[in-house]
Structure 1
Amino acid sequence: MKTLKQILVLFAVSVFFWACGSSPINKTPVQKEEPVVIANDSLEYEITIIDIGFNNFLNSIAKPEGFYSQQYLEARNRAWVVTWNQRARTPNQFNASIYENIIDYQPTVDYGYEVNYKLFNYFLFAQRKYKMNLGGGFRTNRIN
């Protein structure tokens, strides 16, 4: 009887290890997200955003280009850049891994629609992802 019990235990353990070893955890390859480049070649202005999820946000959640006027985007960006830069300059008060860099955005420069559109949407994305508020009365929904 003891031998039968040992065989059953050995069989159960073998089935357990076989089941654990044969079930794929994740066979789909992990795709690296491409950084989003915000650039205006004529002004030699460029921001590269490497924040996981922003590409998806820009392609599936953000309002389409043309939804907002350039003037609206510029106004939001000016306000949000001020707040962002204040936080980037005080890493002891704000998360330095979020506010890593100062954004050199001059209110008198015409960066064009595409730069303003992508920067605006990055600010929306960051507010949702990091559950922060850059101010200005613009409500954002959080990303789960």
Structure 2
Amino acid sequence: MRLDRRLSRVLHALLHLDQMDGPATSELIAQMLQTNPAVVRRTMSGLRDAGIVLSIKGHGGGWSLMRPLDKITLYSIYQALGSPQLFAMGSDDEETDCLLAKAANAATSDALAAAKKQFELSLNCVTVAQLAEGFEEKTRASGER
């Protein structure tokens, strides 16, 4: 199963958008994320629909933040991305008549649901602004951006 890296990539892009004086084109974001501009547009459109970013068309246009980073939780971004599946695990044959298989499936499903709930609760406790805390200090110390 391919890893879904959209959450960390979008967080990276939002942190950069916050540092910019104007909108960033899909091409510029694609260069930052080492991906294709079409992938950026497709991914950012979900964030636009969720009211996290704004897209401005035409010359001088691009993507901008609609809200300050301290008003954007990691959970809101996760939801805007369609709440990607966390694990490559699942239940066995859902159509089984075997009571033992049903018990195994229920245990697996319950554990996965509990893990997803805990993950979502954790995401809801962190804002994108918190990721940037100490950024300037770290930048000066490392000499990079």
Which protein shows a greater Rg? 1
More helix by share: 2
